[in-house]
Amino acid sequence: MPENILFVDDEENILNALERLFLDYDLRTLKAQNAKEALQLIQKEHIAVLVSDNLMPGMTGLELLSRVKEISPDTVRILMTAYANLATAIDAINKGEVFRFVVKPWDDNVLKDIVDDGVNRYRIVQTLRNADEAKLLSLAQTIELKDQYTRGHCDRVANYALLLAESLSVPRQTRLEIKHGSWLHDCGKIGVPEIILNNAEPLDENAVAIMKKHPLWGADVARQAQLSQVIVNIILYHHERYDGRGYLAGLIGENIPLEARIVAVADVYDAMTTDRPYRKGLKPEEAISILASLKGNVLDPYLVEIFAGRLTDTPSAQDKSIMKGGGEGKR
């Protein structure tokens, strides 16, 4: 059954233009001319994605979206705003009030990309709620497609993390959660605009700030889908550093949950050993020596030792497929 998308704007010609734009989509389009009408519709129907204008008589779009967050938390909220109100929109994103914003007058392709991401985000939460493994992996791969340098990254990170977890005799159930958490660790990137993800130039301050939100957004998805705490921890804390200088919480040492420290080692190792547009991936022995230099500052020294030991002592323990392929930009 197609999901519902709801457009809210006080100008009828805009509503009609939006409806036309998504005619060929597998979505059912609903329209409302003000916040009140929109709220009535939301009481009656499941809305996957809500695209709202900001300046409307009565309630503003932002107010509407924060109400919707309360009454229909699964609905993905997109704000349309004039360029002049950009600061408000960015602030709303940072506070988690809205998923993304679109500047008016909009560019059709940009708007379609954002709505696609919104629909994907909605489907991710729905699927994760009663996910089987095949679905989880294919979701992780959908997210990787957005970021052209991360193909295969999640699966390789899972394999490395499991290698480490096995050596630590982590219980079976937790190992399963580590696998799923590794697959999903970057799922918050669904909220990061393509233009930032696939930018070959160094990112400016604002872009870096948005990029750094991906652990938080990903953890929101996982919580909404009622995934286990181990999985949420992996997603939320995979960019923490052992010395406390990571993001977003700045946790130090063993205050970072073990599962997140494990995945961080796997994530960093995979990023180093895979090709980037601007450099070739390192050879395993080179990457292992760099890992050693990250002991105690970026990574848990004990875990690095065990991991390096596993990689060098028992090459047969490694799945061949985890030794090659793309990789994530460590931003």
| Residue numbers at the binding site for Fe ion (CB under 5 A) | 186, 267, 328
Q: Between 9 and 144, whose beta carbon lies closer to Fe ion?
A: 144
Q: Between 69 and 223, whose beta carbon lies closer to Fe ion?
A: 223
76-82, strands of its sheet edge to edge: 27-32, 3-8, 47-53, 76-82, 100-104
Q: How far is the CB of 161 from Fe ion (least distance, A)?
A: 11
Q: How far is the CB of 42 from Fe ion (least distance, A)?
A: 33
In whole angstroms, give the CA distance from residue 249 to residue 233.
11
Q: Between 31 and 189, whose beta carbon lies closer to Fe ion?
A: 189
Q: Between 61 and 329, whose beta carbon lies closer to Fe ion?
A: 329
Q: How far is the CB of 282 from Fe ion (least distance, A)?
A: 16
Q: How far is the CB of 240 from Fe ion (least distance, A)?
A: 11
Packing angle, helices 301-313 and 284-293, rounded to 10: 160
Residue sitting closest to Fe ion (CB): 328
Q: Which long-range contacts (CB under 8 A, 24 or more apart) does 68-74 make?
A: 68/38, 68/39, 68/42, 69/97, 71/39, 71/42, 71/43, 72/42, 72/46, 72/47, 73/224, 74/46, 74/48, 74/122, 74/125, 74/126, 74/224
Q: How far is the CB of 91 from Fe ion (least distance, A)?
A: 23
Q: Between 51 and 184, whose beta carbon lies closer to Fe ion?
A: 184
DSSP string, 214-228: HHHHHHHHHHHTT--
